[in-house]
Amino acid sequence: MWAFYSALQSALDLLRKCPKCGHKQKVRLLDKNKTVACAKCSNPLPPNGHKL
């Protein structure tokens, strides 16, 4: 089950929820460590936001 768990973890890493509008923004693997803009409201979504 560890492979499944780590796959789930990396999937979560590539999904960032916008705190402003609640949109779940998909993040490309290349942009994983970069701040991306929300597709709906352009709010900046910094990396590792879900850990705070």
Maximum distance among all alpha carbons in the chain? 37
Residue 18 and residue 39: Cα distance in Å, rounded? 9
Q: Which of 41, 44, 48, 49 binds Zn ion (CB under 5 A)?
A: 41
Choose between 40 and 50: whose C-beta lies nearer to Zn ion: 40
| Interior angle at CA 49, CA 48 and CA 52, nearest 5 | 100
Q: Which of 11, 12, 20, 34 binds Zn ion (CB under 5 A)?
A: 20
17 binds Zn ion, rule: CB under 5 A: no
- Taking the complex as a whole, the smallest distance from the CB of residue 25 to Zn ion amounts, in Å, to 7
The answer to the question of residue 50 lying near Zn ion (CB under 5 A) is: no
Which H or E run contains 17? strand 15-17
